[in-house]
Structure 1
């Protein structure tokens, strides 16, 4: 049985139990003020989505071991081992365990794969050892949330999230707003299997090489978020929401273009497809853009029918490149899910 949880401050798990978690993907819709023109850098707006998940499981073992299901998960074993080592160091809990990576998000594609894997492992570790610790603390221990807090807040709550950027002491970004996405709205995910997004040292280097964003452009982004994106989502008024998201992405696409080969989209194929949506906005109004460094793009529609009609039109126009995959998903208004997999006794928790 899958149950969404507000994870307690303290928990107890019978050591005969297996603790398993599923964590959702997120789309990063943009930074509010990359240059920190008022003294606080970054700040973000983002959206948690369904259809893409990380799943991990911890159980007892005679010795520490990590196993993985499939090539994508196997590629994350080293990262997972680092997470376990950090958690053991911070908590002092070194009981032998078996960590299984059952499913992972596409890496370096704009879904927040690293943060969701780290937090899923961290929360499962804490529950299995009966350690009460907030998700923000787990994120600090594991080196996540250094720029954006969307993945951390999304792990706990889901929904459409705005954060104020990380604190000077390295604390994860404070959540300023969390609004559930209207149930009827749909997100068309456009993945380019032919390339990966930036990550690690390359990402840091390219961010450092960007020119500062003007205060006027940062103000434009914040204006769009506050007066279009958030009110649109809160009242299920799709048009201002879509226009606000698209404008934010246009500003940021131009700003980050020099780090993406001179393009607003990392993937030329994704950019062409979503540019077509923008050109046909009278028929297919959508909020379009790229998540993080891509290459994944998105188009948010007011309904399943509108999303499917847009896909049919794209296919008829012959603009879907062979490397692209299209998938329609819902927004997700809940965070990570705790799975109750009983071996000899139930998973129990105390508030």
Structure 2
């Protein structure tokens, strides 16, 4: 391929399952890859390393980091030939859609393709990008799509990325509502690390309940295509996770408006409403036709004074990143 192009899905993170100094595994989690909110990039050989389009400066930093990590791992990408990367489509960063992870993984996949090297598996992707230190949802979702459950990171110092515990195809006829209310960006980088260091450990009983909700609630509901049961389990999980994060984000959700929107989503008949990662993006699920989706979208925009682009509908992405060129 002279100019390969890579498209990734977006990522909704439903919640982490456990953390604290005494936890045998850190974090763990469950999330869903969706058609909206992803990244599309293209690349080609060039006289020097360069990038264009939205997030171009971020791409240049990723290219440098991959080469540095490749040198540490004695990987061939350490001496990769220069390339030019163009970002063709990109959602905003730090709104809960996993853009940073998908961008890093897409750039890595592009570099491998241009060098004629085989695609990397999850552990190698983590080594070469530095991703997967906490959540493995975006890492495994990039490869596989669908509903992802990761098993958390082992406590030993040399532990790899969180392993993939379950991957389930998600019903593509379930409508997924995304809402991005105004507000600050979700925590990331040093601010996120600081927030986790200050969070109290999650009690074992809470981790037990969250794991039951995933194993005996979310996953079987998706397999049985039971939207009501899925929504009930996801809402319960979101409430538990939100309470655990309340000391850091000031409440169950990132803002009072987000909480009001989630309550309204339940009132109008959508299920499983919640906040992805640190927010501010919210989600909810239903099985709706186009007319009902338009009606609900218009009502929410008017009722909460949201911009036209703040409310959208999407579907699950049951495939990982795609490459063409």
Residue among 319, 323, 335 paired with 2:304? 319
TM-score, with normalisation over the residues of structure 2?
0.90
Residue among 230, 236, 248 paired with 1:259? 248
Note the 1:1-351 alignment, pairs <5 A: 17-35=2-20, 38-61=23-46, 63-69=47-53, 72-86=54-68, 89=71, 90-91=75-76, 92-132=78-118, 133-167=120-154, 168=156, 169-260=158-249, 262-278=250-266, 280=267, 283-304=268-289, 307-315=293-301, 318-321=303-306, 325-340=310-325
Query: Measured at CA, do residues 303 and 46 of structure 1 come closer, stay the same or move farther in structure 2, by a change above 3 Å?
Result: same
Query: Measured at CA, do residues 60 and 124 of structure 1 come closer, stay the same or move farther in structure 2, by a change above 3 Å?
Result: same
Q: Which has the higher contact order (CA 8 A, sep 6+)?
A: 1
Secondary structure of 1:81's partner?
Answer: helix
CA contact (8 A) 1:192 1:267 kept: no
* Residues 135-194 of structure 1: per-residue CA shift (max 9 Å, x gap): 430222211000111001110110001010123323111111111111210111111344
Cα separation, 2, equivalents of 1:108 and 1:130: 32
Deviates more, 1:211-220 or 1:325-334: 211-220
* Residues 294-318 of structure 1: per-residue CA shift (max 9 Å, x gap): 11111122334554454354356x2
CA contact (8 A) 1:196 1:295 kept: yes
Q: What is the number of residues matched between the two proteins? A: 317
Cα separation, 2, equivalents of 1:192 and 1:264: 15
CA contact (8 A) 1:286 1:301 kept: yes
Cα separation, 1, equivalents of 2:269 and 2:52: 41
TM-score, with normalisation over the residues of structure 1?
0.84
**As a proportion of its length, which structure holds more helix?**
2
Q: Show structure 1 runs of 5+ residues with no match.
A: 1-12, 341-351
* Residues 213-246 of structure 1: per-residue CA shift (max 9 Å, x gap): 1111111111111111111111110111001111
Cα separation, 2, equivalents of 1:66 and 1:304: 44
* Residues 4-44 of structure 1: per-residue CA shift (max 9 Å, x gap): xxxxxxxxx5xxx1122111110110011123765111111
CA contact (8 A) 1:190 1:326 kept: yes
Secondary structure of 2:62's partner?
Answer: helix
CA contact (8 A) 2:178 2:311 kept: yes
Q: CA deviation at 1:67?
A: 2.2
Cα separation, 2, equivalents of 1:240 and 1:308: 25
Cα separation, 2, equivalents of 1:36 and 1:93: 39
